[in-house]
Amino acid sequence: MNQKKALNSFKLIVLSFIAITQLFPLYWLITFSLKSNAEIFGENIIGLPRAWRFENYKTALTDGGILRYFLNSVFYSAVTVFTVAILAAMAAYAIARMNWKRKELVFGIFTVGIMIPSQAALLPLFQIMDKMGLKGGYLGLLIPYIAFGIPMSVMILVGFYKGIPKEMEEAAYMDGCGIFRCFLTIMLPMVKPAIATASIFTFLGTWNELMFANTLVDSSDYRTLPVGIMSFAGQYSTDWGLIGAGMVIATLPTIIIYFLLSNQVQESLVAGAVKG
């Protein structure tokens, strides 16, 4: 019993240490956003602010235009997640459940899409968007986001579809169910964990993306939140508390989603690992 208690105490200490190390960056970011440059670069680096500068958030939301960038990021992320989920679900269903020529080739193309680094596609993508007149607007970012989000989602969903017994589809076809109705009413509800898994990766990739957003968008009306925060850095002086406030605002959606959907996120990730 004493050994068991000692082992449990040791586990508790280790887990507490891990929790503290994981939460400390969030604590530091919040206190960082409420300080002046003098405190940030002075002796009070990790302590609580001596003067709580809540005006950093007000300045970021009003003068800094963070609210506009935040809404743009929400729009980009929502449209990308929704479009990728629909297209990837249909493409993966066709690859995993239907018999047609060259489906392995198509699946290989999606696989290659994961291997190509986005940095290698930046220059040709910039030239194509510029010649088509799409650079600088919403479509100029939505098209690359959707294109780069589809391959990973297809990979995840194909594994889920292959794990579903074919007898379910055969029974539906015998009852007079067409292919589209079978997909919508039978197959799609069964792969919800996979869609949730893929949507999580798509959302995080879109929300935090900086390279495309900084290259393909010129006007501040279409900027995303990471680009807007980066623009706070001045050439000669920078208000680091203001940047910290913007980073806190950018982090809030992911934290809220985790607290609201933590159980579903964990279940979807586990299901994705088992099915995949």
List CB contacts of 276: < 8 A, sequence separation 6 or more. 155, 156, 159, 160
Please work out, in degrees rounded to the nearest 5, the angle formed at the alpha carbon of residue 106 by the alpha carbons of 154 and 182: 55
User: Tens digits of per-residue pLDDT, 167-190?
Assistant: 777 787 777 777 888 888 888 888
| Distance of alpha carbon 35 from alpha carbon 65, whole angstroms | 20
**Dist. CA 231–CA 8, nearest whole Å:** 49
* Domains, in order of start, for the chain: 66-238+261-275 (1.10.3720.10)
The yes-or-no verdict on residue 17 having pLDDT over 90 is yes
Q: Identify the CA nearest to 183 among candidates 79, 70, 71, 98.
A: 98
Residue 53 neighbours by CB under 8 Å, 6+ apart: 34, 35, 36, 241
Say what the pLDDT of residue 276 is: 46
Q: Which helix (H) or strand (E) holds 93?
A: helix 66-97
What percent of the chain shows pLDDT beyond 90? 17
CA distance 69 to 81: 18
pLDDT value at position 189?
Answer: 84
Quick check: 217 and 227 in contact, CB under 8 A?
yes
Is the separation of the CB atoms in 18 and 35 below 8 Å? no
DSSP label at residue 185:
I
| Cβ neighbours around 36 below 10 Å, total | 16
The pLDDT tens digits for 209-243 are 989 998 888 888 888 989 888 887 765 567 888 88
Give the Cα separation of 106 and 95 in Å (integer).
8
| DSSP label at residue 51 | S
Residue of 41, 40, 23, 42 lying closest to 31 (CA atoms): 40
Element (H, E) at 265: helix 240-275
State how far the Cα of 82 lies from the Cα of 26, in Å rounded to an integer: 29
Query: 242-271 burial, b for 16+ CB within 10 Å, e for fewer?
Result: bbbbbbbbbeebeeebeeeeeeeeeebeeb
Q: What is the pLDDT of residues 107-163, one digit of tens each?
A: 888 888 888 888 888 888 888 888 888 888 889 899 999 999 999 999 988 888 888
